[in-house]
Amino acid sequence: MEKLSTRHLLGIKNLTRKDIELIFNTADNFKEIINRPIKKVPSLRDTTIANLFFENSTRTKLSFELAEKRLSADVVNFSASGSSVSKGETLIDTVNNILAMKVDVVVMRHPNPGAAVFLSKNINASIVNAGDGTHEHPTQGLLDAFSIREKYGDLSGKKIVIVGDIAHSRVALSNIYCLQKLGAKVKVCGPPTLIPKYISSLGVEVEYNLDRAIAWCDVAMMLRIQLERQTNVSEGNQVKLFPSLREYANMYGLTAERLNRLDHKITIMHPGPINRGVEITSEVADSEHSIILNQVENGVAVRMAVLYLLSGREF
């Protein structure tokens, strides 16, 4: 059986193109399976997986849990807010406690960048990073690329623009790495205050004008504007990074009117949850060019593939 070059999935940065293709080919099989009347396979029977969510998440958690259950794994869930951890029990203690209960794989969402790397160095289990702050969210990056591949067959030469809060996104880096490894061209678009100063070192171009960005692209990935970024200004002399949601929606909201002005059709993606009427209007989100719900469906298949490949089990 083909194997991944890594024991953990901490980020896309360290995956090879071959790894990504292996995950996609495996996900193709699982996608076929989950569309059968009986969606469950015994591949991970007797494998115990802990889902540790130190930060709120609805759909990622649900998607992982579904993936795990369809592989027949035993699943335990742990949720805690990041603040309770920073106040008292350390991450390493929390996780060691759970590992003492003989867990094979840990899926973790954590607010701090590097938390998954930290875990992989300190505990003996396969780690799947389900988002570590503003660092990486590899399974989201994979499922997004998988969804584009599904629509176009190949990513090579495809033009993709990522729009929105790049600086605080948990998925932007994973998306950029994944798309580039598969041969796509990537631009980022958003207000300059939400674009990291050194982003061009990754080989992506920066475009501040949404109309120009969508005129260029084949696919627009709209990122969620995190409302807390806009309002959490109580500390020190920190300032809002853009003045109002209204102004953001006017400048960077994807509307049918904007799309109608284009001379070609583009594909619309969004990792969810959507702020309807802010980064994207309902009309666009629900249109035939949107593959937002395909992303959700593919998320389960891609996560099944990742968990299966990391477990090292044979069919």
Partner 1 sequence: MKLFIQSAKLISKHSEFHNQVIDLYINNGKIEAIGNNLTPPEKVNIYTHNNLHISAGWLDLGANFSDPGNEHKETIESGINAAAKGGFTAVAISPATEPPIDNKSIVQYVKNKANGAIVDLLPMGAISKGIHGIELAELFDMYETGAVAFTDGKASVQNPNLLKTALLYCKAFDGLVINYADHKDLSHKGMMHEGEKSMHLGLKGIPALAEEIIVNRDLYLLEYTEGKIHFSTLSTAKSVELIKEAKKKGLRVTADVSAAHLLIDDSYLDEFDTRFKVQPPFRDKSHIKALIKGLKDKTIDVITSNHVPEDIEAKKREFDHAAFGIINLQTAFGAANTALKGKLELEEIIEKLADNPRRVLGLEPIQIKEGEMANLTLFSPEENWKLEKSDIASKSKNSPFIGMELIGKPLGIINHNQIVYS
Q: What are phi and psi of 268, to 5 degrees?
A: -110, 130
| Among the listed residues 81, 135, 137, the one whose alpha carbon sits nearest the alpha carbon of residue 107 | 137
- Does position 236 interact with partner 1 (CB under 8 A)? The reply is yes
| DSSP-derived 3-state class of residue 168 | coil
Asked if 73 and 126 count as a contact pair (C-beta separation under 8 A), the reply is no
Catalytic hit among 13, 59, 159, 313: 59
Is 170 annotated in a binding site? The answer is yes
3-state helix, strand, coil in the chain (%, to 5): 45, 15, 40
Instruction: State in angstroms the smallest separation of the CB of 309 from partner 1.
Output: 23
Structure tokens at 229: 């970024």
CA 216 – CA 210 distance, rounded (Å): 10
- Does position 124 interact with partner 1 (CB under 8 A)? The reply is no
Residue closer to partner 1, measured from CB, 96 or 282: 96
Which window, 15-23, 89-97, 186-194, 216-224, contacts partner 1 (CB under 8 A)? 89-97
The DSSP call for residue 3 is: -
Q: How far is CA 217 from CA 78, 80, 173, 238, 262, in A?
A: 40, 40, 19, 34, 10
Is 134 among the residues known to form the active site? no
- Does position 272 interact with partner 1 (CB under 8 A)? The reply is no
- Does position 180 interact with partner 1 (CB under 8 A)? The reply is no
Residue closer to partner 1, measured from CB, 99 or 202: 202
Residue closer to partner 1, measured from CB, 198 or 315: 198
Instruction: State in angstroms the smallest separation of the CB of 306 from partner 1.
Output: 20
- Does position 133 interact with partner 1 (CB under 8 A)? The reply is yes
Asked if 143 and 310 count as a contact pair (C-beta separation under 8 A), the reply is no
Is 8 among the residues known to form the active site? no
x/- binding map, residues 201-220, to partner 1, per CB under 8 A? xx------------------
Instruction: State in angstroms the smallest separation of the CB of 115 from partner 1.
Output: 5
Cβ-based neighbours of 233, under 8 Å, separated by 6 or more: 239, 240
Catalytic hit among 26, 47, 48, 60: 60
Among 6, 13, 61, 241, binds partner 1 (CB under 8 A): 13
Window 148 to 177, contacts with partner 1 (CB under 8 A):
173
Among 72, 114, 226, 241, binds partner 1 (CB under 8 A): 114
Continuous H helices in 159-268: 172-181, 210-216, 227-231, 245-252, 256-260
Query: Residue with structure tokens 């099944």?
Result: 304
Active site residues: 59-60, 87, 109, 137
Binding residues are 59-60, 87, 109, 137, 140, 170, 224, 272-273
Residues at the interface with partner 1 (CB under 8 A): 13, 86, 90-92, 110-115, 117-118, 121-122, 132-136, 173, 196-199, 201-202, 235-238
